[in-house]
Structure 1
């Protein structure tokens, strides 16, 4: 049975104890339960889901996704697809248009799941850019399956990497390697003649904390834009909570348990091996086979494990761990649809509002300098447009978020002033917006962290997406795998490769590592190999 509260016994034992019931923790729990393990998930708050939750917070009848919302990576993820969550109530829905990038002058580049309609939109910016988009999409289609499989498997992705190499050949592989490190500004300039295509790519890249001129930003923009063309940016029917509900229902059907209000404050280690965990108040749980942690890397290593059990070089490296930016998210209940001055934007589930490529660079530069952007770039979601059940007929459940420089001490009045700037941007491009507001819910950086302790300072990506903290460098220089220097302890959060987004890969990778370590035939060899690798990196 699924527990709805902490147990009263002094000690409980399970094959795997998982700290955190975010979506990665729940994915890991499901995969271990599939392997026949007895699984216990410990969640500090009173609800599961982490950053995949929904609630009515603006006005009665208006459903808001509290954190994440549109899910191209989740929809395309082989990890979530193999879990068959549709058998546990998860269904998807698409907005009429995937994405619109609105320029300061009111023009819009629109991505539609029909490639020809996207091409027509880009041709309005520069004749021939439509064909260039279609050529780029054709290239994506040839690579997407092995590329996504490589993205969502442990590093290094040997099998999928070899398949990519076979498809591309040496010259093609070198060109792909170059694309993986290009800034999105350069990628857009190489692919398109006009402003529309580069804006679509750059706006997608800024779903991370990278600027248009950062190395590696191009691949993020290309990935999200091409996924939008291939599968759209769908939403769960009935809210993001449906993903969490499906994961919990699936886990329950396999005998997994969740204990809520269990605030773990220590991983119990003996002879270099994780033996279990302790919660605030002294309650302990023993793990027969593994402990998996769906918490940020600094919290796991410095708080739950403690420096005494870690190589000194790892502790030094953690001092250089960089968070992504702080986030301000606002949800609105609107009495009617957003009154866009440009009606091309009305059908888009997601709107990037409202700047050109140079404006995105200025916005990113302000954040890099620790300054509050005077004219914030907004990522906006028209939720009723995407899923009509999110609010009463004829209305709109709307959200937008933007970033501030990373800090944990943002004051409420700082956030309130920034919300005014956000609404000024909306009013400028949708005159009459403020008059439609029936309710508003503001979540500043401190609010986000209070509601979900893993969102440290309102950082939603589990750490920066910068190239120096990716792959084998995530969360710190090492193997890029979920294994830790403590035997039978695994990092299962977005701080692990491949990073943020709702796709389940960090949880799945941690579960695979735990299963590999546990196999009687190879477990000793696996442990020795991982231990030798860590000694090499951290000596």
Structure 2
């Protein structure tokens, strides 16, 4: 006999679980179905190298989760079910070829004095930005946390108009349309300060010259300055474990090794799902798919709305990422100075022009000659992730093409990730070795995760795209994933879309899932 639930959710990423928890809290009987052997999608933690060394598979930074509306409502329950945070006061830094570094710590004067050593003008600009951040954060956070409705966005702009007048609204709009380079050039003099912040754009598909990208370096810089960075104690997967436990305590369920073969649609309405083993799970109220846009059409078939279907088929993905998980005997000996051992993130992205070149190469299908390296040092703030005295390093290699057409350096001839993985990983480790000599000798074990492996593990990460779709202006805000459907609705009755491909997009803030649950159940 077929099982019947109020809500059926495809995929067990953090957006799915946030959605399920809220629906269950509103009295829905909810089931989450996951093709993989464990829940979490890109947010999970495992011993990928050696026993006792715990690595975050993809996402590491839980600052957005800790500051989210979902956590504000359910934080106590999550804490009771094992979620705790490891705060980092020394948040992120960048190293430079001349042997210097620059970093943001959760103390204004500490950060400002570092900047002042480069430029007194930039130090003043940093203090001014920090002072203005609470007022600036109000419309920005309101915008990013609002349902994707014209009325909601209009209300936020109206509030800003009441506060700062027409000029203020125009300034805000101009900022939201600015590229990282444009805003950084206007704001700072030092190329090193610009590079320090521009590196954050590369986390979210915003190379230096992409319109609309200034928001993210600004928010990361100011939020880390104001609040610090937050990691999950024991790994980012602790958030998934806690959400799963809260859901089950409220009567919901997560079923793994349960691949969905198709979404059942009858008379224009979604009625349930059919699993690969033939089981059917029926839904009284909603079928919710946390999948990449093209996959939604594959599961549900053509919706009858040609514009929507075409939008999903043409949905653009960002370049991929390679992950390198390292179990190490000790932290890197950074040539720029031992203070770098205190930072959660060290960016090896020393130049804005280099970042632009790297992005262009990856977009052209080339393995970049100088990829951006994000070196996470989580055991600095959470020693529980490794045996006593040992450490893990979390390396993101950005950008990397999903489909390889060539090598920008002319050295790697492989066109498939199975054979390109080792030489490209060696290129990344060469860069790390350049800034921290002797790091290779500290490696006890390593695990390479290519873009192809990321997609095989989680089909939402198309071509290794960890953010499930470009966030460029033509595919963000009201246009994510398709104009008119940024609230998670679809042309099919009772079928809804969530996850990073839906407004407000990627990150660990659980906004798409939580907003959809509020839309469905209040």
Range class of TM-score, shorter chain: over 0.9
The 5-angstrom pairing of residues 216-295 of structure 1 reads 216-295=212-291
**CA distance in structure 1 between the partners assigned to 2:69 and 2:505 by the alignment:** 16
Q: For 1:111-148, what per-residue CA distance to the aligned partner results, in whole angstroms no more than 9, with x for missing partners?
A: 00101111111112212211211111222211324422
User: Does structure 1 residue 14 correspond to structure 2 residue 5?
Assistant: yes
Give the deviation of 1:250 after TM superposition: 0.9
Aligned to 2:492: 486
**8 Å CA contact 1:182, 1:215 repeated in 2:** yes
- What secondary structure, in the 3-state scheme, does the structure 1 residue paired with 2:482 have? coil
Contact 1:263/1:280 (<8 A) preserved: yes
Match of 1:5 in 2: none
Matched with 2:331 is: 337
1:378 equivalent among 373, 381, 386: 373
- SS state at 1:397 partner: strand
Shift of 1:161: 4.2
Deviation, structure 1 residue 200: 2.3
Correspondence for 1:406 among 402, 415, 430: 402
Q: Paired residue for 1:114?
A: 107
Does the alignment pair 1:306 with 2:263?
A: no
Q: What do residues 82-118 of structure 1 show as CA deviations (whole Å, max 9, x unaligned)?
A: 2212232211112341000112222211100101111
Per-residue deviation, 1:220: 1.3
Secondary structure of the structure 2 residue equivalent to 1:234: strand
157-166 vs 386-395, which deviates more?
A: 157-166
Give the match for residue 102 of structure 1.
Answer: 95
Which of these residues, 392, 395, 408, is aligned with residue 387 of structure 2? 392
C-alpha root-mean-square deviation of aligned residues, in Å?
A: 1.6
Correspondence list, 1:64-463, <5 A:
64-84=55-75, 85-156=78-149, 157-158=152-153, 159-300=155-296, 302-307=297-302, 309-343=303-337, 344-402=339-397, 403-407=399-403, 410-463=416-469
- Structure 1 residues 165 and 72: alpha-carbon distance in aligned structure 2, compared to 1, 3 A threshold: farther
Give the secondary-structure state (helix, strand or coil) at the position aligned to 1:282: coil
The 1-side partners of 2:248 and 2:475 are apart by: 35
1:462–1:494 contact (8 Å) kept in structure 2: yes
- Contact kept? 1:446, 1:458, Cα under 8 Å: yes
CA-CA distance at 1:244 after TM superposition: 0.4
Cα pair 2:160 2:168 within 8 Å, conserved: no
What number of residue pairs does the alignment pair up?
Answer: 505
C-alpha distance in structure 1 between counterparts of 2:194 and 2:66, whole Å = 24
Which deviates more, 197-206 or 79-88? 79-88
**Structure 2 unaligned blocks of 5 or more:** 405-414
TM-score norm. by structure 2 comes to 0.93
8 A contact 1:490–1:514 mirrored in 2: no
Contact 2:349 2:355 in 1 (8 A): no
Q: Which residue of 1 aligns with 2:408?
A: none
CA deviation vs aligned residue, 1:200-251 (integer Å, no higher than 9, x gap):
2201111111210110111111111111112222101111111001101111
TM-score by length of 1: 0.90
2: distance between equivalents of 1:476 and 1:254? 33
Inter-partner Cα distance in structure 1 for 2:392 and 2:342? 14
User: Which SS does the other structure have where 1:128 is aligned?
Assistant: helix
Is the contact made by 2:192 and 2:350 (CA closer than 8 Å) also made in structure 1?
Answer: no
Match of 1:508 in 2: 514
Q: Secondary structure at the match of 1:351?
A: strand
Match in the other structure for 1:32? 23
